[in-house]
Amino acid sequence: MKIVTLTLNPALDKSTSTERLVPEQKLRCANLQIDPGGGGINVSKGIKKLGGISTAVFPAGGRNGDRLQELLGDWQIEMSVQAVAGETRENISVTENASNIQYRFTLIGPDLSVADADACLQRISDLKPEYLVVSGSLPNGLPTDYYQQVAVFSKKIGARLILDTSGAAMQAAVGEGVFLLKPNLGELSALVGETQLEINQVDDAALEIIGKNICEVVVVSMGAQGALLVTKDGFEHIPAPMVLKKSTVGAGDSMVAGMVWALSEKKSYREMAQLGVACGSAATMNLGTQLFKAEDAWRLFEWLKAYGDRYKITDFG
């Protein structure tokens, strides 16, 4: 099944490390790692690591935009690029080795016109995907309800929309309805009109979303506690394997990559969520913006299939 990812706010992800962050001093850093980034682009990278194929659709401009395309070419990822004015943004992450604390700096990108965003949608229409993954923030220049327009568009072309965003952009999109939604606990709370949810309220809140036809499937990302898979048939807790965490950069995108790849391979929803958790957990084992190593993801996936039942909570009929 054909997968297309849409990244309206792509970036060059730059990462390095230093022994200790000290104000007003020159700090010696490790070699700079530069990766193509942005939500949907990271999902395409994760799908590639799992042996799958996707097409990344995104706007790009300036030298950073050229570099972004060059790096994706090195990944051998198919892409359809809308040339735009302005310079594609950069993100910077610095790890302090002494504490293993990571500092992440997200820079503002260029304004994106509605015309350029709509041109990206036309490229997607021409590709005729079965699954459309929309991941990441909205750039300046687009209205906050633009992802709602994308949800309408995905229905028009017959694509299943997988949405991973936050804030007003997510709130607007779910009003139209999507196939799969991946909120974290804070985003789930906002969707049901609560400021905060206790852990024993999460399943009811997710079932409430399903009941309102906001989506067909919801996978609530709960960090070290794993994820909660919810459909109209019930819910199931997918535990997170215990791993040595080095970075959380790209963990959410890795999770989405695992899930959409599993869906394209016609895996069950349970296996979909398990592979998503495995990929997300594997991503935390690596520094910088490397996402996950395929061998780690598959090993954790096998662990979840073999031993995860000991830790799960399920209410499927």
For 58, what's the count of Cα atoms within 13 Å in the CB-facing half-sphere?
38
DSSP calls for 7-61: -SS-EEEEEEEES---TTS---BPPPEEEEESHHHHHHHHHHHTT---EEEEEE-
H/E run at residue 275: helix 269-283
pLDDT at residue 317, as a whole number: 46
What distance in Å separates the CA atoms of residue 314 and residue 52, rounded to the nearest whole number? 30
Q: What is the pLDDT of residues 220-238, one digit of tens each?
A: 998 888 899 999 888 899 9
Q: Is 153 left (phi over 0), alpha (psi -120 to 50) or beta?
A: alpha
Is the pLDDT at 315 greater than 60? The verdict is: no
Interior CA angle at 97 toward 91 and 102, to 5°?
35
What distance in Å separates the CA atoms of residue 125 and residue 134, rounded to the nearest whole number? 14
Taking all residues of the chain, what is their mean pLDDT, rounded to a whole number?
91
Most confident of 99-103, 121-125, 200-204: 121-125
Domain boundaries of the chain, sorted by first residue: 3-19+30-310
Residues annotated as catalytic are 253
- Over residues 236-252, the mean pLDDT reads 86
Please provide the CATH number assigned to the domain covering 3-19+30-310.
Answer: 3.40.1190.20
Is the pLDDT at 312 greater than 80? The verdict is: no
